Chains A and B, each alone.
Chain A
Amino acid sequence: MAKRAAPEVNAGSMADIAFLLLIFFLVTTTIPKDSGIPRKLPPIDDTEQDVIIKEKNVFTVLINNKDQLLVEDQVMELKDVRPAAIAFLDNGGDGSCSYCKGKRDPKSSDNPDKAIISLKNERETSYAAYISVQNELVAAYNTLRNIRAKEIGPKRGFAEMDFVEMETNLKDPKFNGNKEKLKDLVDQIRTEYPEKLSEVQ
């Protein structure tokens, strides 16, 4: 008896089926873009005591309902906010801040620890303007921290890394380096330039 081979299954339509699925997934795919500016809201505190803060230690930013900026009682363009904030934070007026490179203007902030940025907006302010200003202020802090990281980083064995990279490395489980030391360094820079951004409600 002649041996009969089993008939082959026609696989010609497999490509069609695969294409169908492919197109379905292509259409439903949304590449997630979940990144943003992290913030911590202040807890509601009933026992509010008045802390006396010197006027010169506060950097006021006001965004009005037409998205115009008033920084320290002067009208300002968005692009000028970052340098102004950097100059304010890095001023070091009382001389206690050894790492500050500012002008040491006695009329501006005492040291980065005391310097507070106060952001005020109105209800009619657009969200885009608010985020832009937030972004610039965070950028001011990050710039100063990056400079500081470049200064003290090499001595601690973390050359070629700015502060933002340090932070990402700290979170990255694949980072192969001394995480303990890196954490100390990041914490030190964070205390040297603490992010004191208050929002007026």
Chain B
Amino acid sequence: MSKFKSKKDNALPAMNTASLPDIVFMLLFFFMVVTVMREDTLLIENILPVANQVEKLDKKYPISYIYMGQPAKGYEKFGEAARIQLNDKFAEISEVQSFINAERLALREEMIPYLTVSLKVDKDANMGVVMDVKQELRKANALKINYTTGTGDVSQNMD
């Protein structure tokens, strides 16, 4: 046992990790800011088609979402055909109007005419269900719609 430790230590000095929390916190804040919690749990397949003549949906104005598509894995008992999903559950076509009215009730009165309905439709869904929903929206007088799509070239839609 030597009284004096030799000054030369052969092992590498430990790296200073004091700034690691700072870096991690920085990343954390970034993700916290950009995170949007999923509003609805999807019960259907929902791969959106792509288009390139798109406009951004203005978040200033209220948006209601209507999802359409084939029931996802685990919900096969609801059949193979494309179904409508409103909020967190499957819905029938007749429920679209009351859904729109419920959405309107939640809004401030001056915002009601600006309500946009975003149709999130799976690309493999057929137009029948979309046409029915559009007709219901016309009946409910919710005429501003948006076919929500991804961005890309339309040739990708066909495969």
The answer to whether A and B assemble together is yes
Task: Confirm or deny: B157 has a beta carbon within 8 angstroms of a beta carbon on chain A.
Answer: yes
| Contacting pair B53 A135 (CB below 8 A) | yes
Query: Which of A86-94, A117-125, A148-156 touches B?
Result: A117-125
- Inter-subunit contact B21/A22 (CB<8 Å): no
Residue of A nearest to B117 (CB): A41
A138 at interface by CB-CB < 8 Å: yes
Q: How far, in angstroms, from A41 to B133 measured CA to CA in the complex? A: 11
Contact pick for A37, options B21, B51, B134, CB 8 Å: B51
Contacts of B144 in A (CB 8 A): 38, 40-41
- B 108-129 contacts with A by CB, 8 A: 116, 118-119, 121-128
Contacts of A22 in B (CB 8 A): 24, 27-28, 31
Contact residue among B21, B37, B122, B126 (Cβ-Cβ distance under 8 Å from A124): B126
Known contacts being A30-B36, A123-B128, is A43 close to B143, with CB within 8 Å? yes
Interface code B133-159, partner A: CB below 8 Å = 1, 0 otherwise?
A: 011011101111111111100110110
A190 to B135, CA, bound (A): 27
Chain A residue at minimal CB-CB distance from B126: A124
Q: Name the one of B38, B54, B116, B127 contacting A127, with C-beta atoms under 8 angstroms.
A: B127
A171 interface hit (Cβ, 8 Å): yes
Give residues of chain A (106-157) contacting chain B, Cβ–Cβ below 8 Å: 121-132, 134-136, 138-139, 142
Contacts of B151 in A (CB 8 A): 33, 35
Identify the stretch in A10-18, A54-62, A97-105, A175-183 within 8 Å (CB) of chain B at 4 or more residues: A10-18
Chain A: interface residue total (CB-CB under 8 A)? 50
Using known A-B contacts A30-B36, A36-B147, determine if residue A127 contacts B125 with beta carbons closer than 8 Å. Answer: yes
Q: A33 to B150, Cβ gap below 8 A?
A: yes
Are A32 and B121 in contact, CB atoms less than 8 angstroms apart?
no
**Closest CB pairs A-B (n = 5):** A123-B128, A128-B123, A25-B31, A36-B148, A135-B51
List the interface of chain A (C-beta within 8 A of B). Answer: 11, 14-15, 18-19, 21-22, 25-26, 28-44, 67, 78-79, 121-132, 134-136, 138-139, 142, 167, 171, 201
Given contacts A67-B158, A125-B127, 15 further A-B contacts (CB under 8 A): A18-B24, A19-B24, A25-B35, A28-B38, A34-B56, A36-B119, A36-B147, A37-B54, A37-B147, A38-B116, A41-B137, A43-B138, A124-B126, A131-B49, A135-B154
